[in-house]
Chain A
C-alpha cells in the first residue's frame, strides 16, 4: 500500500499538469474535427485590384475606377452528400470585409468542423432577411454599414464606391450600394420592401477536411462581373446612386451569382 502511494501521487501530478492546458478544449467528442479559414481578395479582369486609378473598362464601355469595397457575407455553409450541412456559427456568422482594412481580409473560423468529404460550399451575399436587423451592430466598422430605416433598415450588403468617366467627360462618383429595396406605389410612396440578398454557391468545389487540419479557402471577388452577366450594367444609365432604385439593385443582385470564385488555397 505504501509502495503504491508515490505512484498515485504521480498520477495526480499528471492530472494537474494536463488540466493546466488550455481550458477551451473541453469537449471530448470522439468525432475527429478540423477547421477552415478564408482569404478574401479583389480582382478586376483577373488581376489584383488597383484602387483610385481610372484604368478599367466595363462591359458597357464605361471607363471606371474603384475607391473602396465594403461588404458582408453570411450563412457560410459546407454541404455534404449525406445532407448534413454545416452552418458556420449559426447566428454570428456575418463577416465584414473592407478593402481598406487588411485585418478583414482573413477570416479565421473558430468552428470545429467534422472531418470528412464535402461536396460544396455556399454563402449568402449580404445578410439574409431574418438576420438583417437594425442596430445589431453597434461598433464600427460594421455599424457604419447601417441601411436607413426609411429605406428598409438593417445594413448595406455592400458599398462599392468608385467613379466613371460619364457622357459629359466628367469623372463622376458612383456608389454601387446594395441592400433592401423599396416597392413604390404610383404616387411614389413606399408600400413594401424587397430583400436583395442572394445565395452564392460553388457546386463544383468538392474538398475534404482531415483531422486537425486547417483548410484555407480563397474567395475572389471579380469586380468587373458585377456589371456584366446576365445584365449589362451601364453607369451612364443608372447614374451615381441606386439605394432607392430597386430596378438597378435587382440587376446588381442578379449579376452577383458569378462574381465570386472560390478555391482551396494552394
Chain B
C-alpha cells in the first residue's frame, strides 16, 4: 500500500513536470495584461502599389485608431503650445497646412514668401518640409537629418521627437512641455481620449508625441496621375512622357538617382547630397553639422518631388520661387565645389543643358506627381470640433 502511494506521487510529479515543460516550451509572446478599459483598435497602413513594405513605426508606438484620432486633434489644436489666448496659440497646423502638402505655402498671408517664424517672431532655420509619406523615411528627419535612428541622443530619433522639439523651439511654439501638458489635461474631453488611446487619462508629453506621430504616419500620398499611370488607369500626355524619359536618363535631365522614379516611388532616397548651389558654405545647420565630415558641407536631404507644386519656395533656404527656376538651375547654373556630389556629373558643363521644350516637358512630368486627393482627404483635415466643443 505504501509503495503504491509512493508510486502515485511519483507519477503525479512526473505528469506535472511534463505539463510544465510543455508550457515553458511555448514562446512567451503573450502580451502583458492591459489596464482595464484599454482596448485600442490596431490600425494597419495599406501599402500602396509599388511602395516599400518596411515601415518606420517604433515598437513602442504601434498604430491604433484611437491613437491617431487623438493625434489628429492635437496636431490641429493650438493649445498644445501651452497657451489659450488666440493670438499666441500655435499648433503644428499653423505651419503644416494640408492644402500645401503640409507646408505653409509661398502665398501664406503671414509667412510671406513661405518663410516661417515662431510665436515670438524668431525665424525657422530653413524653409519647411512637407509631411507626407514619412512612414517610409528610415534615414532621417529635417533637412540635415538630425533626427535619425542612429542619433546617440535618444531624444532625437523619430517623428515623436519632433513634437516636443516643436513645443519648446524658440522659432516655433517657444513654450514648455509642462505648460502644454497642463493645458491639454485641463481641456475637457482630452483625458478620456488619452485613456482610450494609451490606457491612462494622465496627459504626458510622451503620449502626446506618440499620438501626433501616429497621425503623421497616416499622411500618405500615392494617388497622383503618375501613380494612376503606373497602375494602368490613365495615360500620360506626350509631353509628360517625354519629361519622364528626361527625368530618368543620364543624358536627359538626370534626376532619378536622387529623386527616384517608378522603381523608387517615394521620389526621394531620403539621403543627403550637395547638389551644386554654392561654392561657399556657411549654414551652421547643413549635413556637415551632423556628421562632421567636411565632404558633407552644403549637403541636404533630397526632398520628395511628390506634390512639389504645392511646396514652393524650393531648397532648404527657399532660394527658388518656381519649378521653372529650379529646372533652370539644374540645367545651366550648377556651381562646382570640392563637395559637389558625384551624382551631379553634369557639373563640368554647368548643368544638363536642356532646351526650352525639354524644360517644359520635364515640368509637365513633375506635375504628374500632384495628388489632389491627398490635399483634400477629409481624414487628414482639421477636425470639425475639438474634444471640448
Contact = CB atoms under 8 A, between A and B. Distances in A.
B290 interface: no
Contact of A139 (B25, B54, B257): B54
B354 to A, nearest CB: 15
Contacts of A143: 52, 263-264
Interface stretch (B95-103, B201-209, B247-255, B370-378): B247-255
Contacts of A6: 7, 10-11, 14
A151 interface: yes
B183 interface: no
Interface in A156-198: 159, 161-163, 166, 168, 170-175, 177
Interface in B20-37: 21-22, 25
Given A2-B7, A140-B52, A146-B261, A175 B340 contact: no
B345 interface: yes
B263 A240 contact: no
B264 A151 contact: no
A177 B254 CA distance: 13
Nearest to A140: B52
Nearest to B340: A173
Nearest to A137: B263
Contacts of B17: 13
B52 A148 contact: no
A174 B248 contact: no
B249 A151 contact: yes
Contact of A173 (B51, B244, B251, B345): B345
Interface string A35-64: 000000000000000001000000000000
Given A139-B53, A161-B342, A146 B264 contact: yes
Contacts, number: 113
B135 to A, nearest CB: 13
A150 interface: yes
A149 B263 CA distance: 9
A16 B345 contact: no
B14 A173 contact: no
Interface string A1-31: 0100110011011001101100000000000
B269 interface: yes
A150 B52 contact: no
B163 interface: no
Contacts of B51: 138
A173 B250 CA distance: 13
A150 B269 CA distance: 20
A178 B252 CA distance: 18
B86 interface: no
Given A173-B341, A240-B348, 5 more contacts: A140-B269, A143-B264, A147-B263, A151-B248, A172-B345
28 contacts: A6-B10, A13-B18, A16-B25, A67-B342, A135-B262, A138-B50, A139-B53, A143-B52, A143-B263, A146-B263, A148-B256, A148-B263, A149-B248, A150-B244, A150-B245, A170-B336, A170-B348, A172-B345, A172-B347, A172-B348, A173-B340, A173-B343, A174-B342, A175-B342, A240-B345, A241-B250, A242-B250, A244-B250
Interface of A: 2, 5-6, 9-10, 12-13, 16-17, 19-20, 52, 67-68, 134-135, 138-140, 143-144, 146-151, 155, 159, 161-163, 166, 168, 170-175, 177, 239-244
Interface of B: 7, 10-11, 14-15, 17-18, 21-22, 25, 50-54, 138, 244-245, 248-251, 254, 256-257, 260-264, 269-270, 295, 336, 338, 340-348
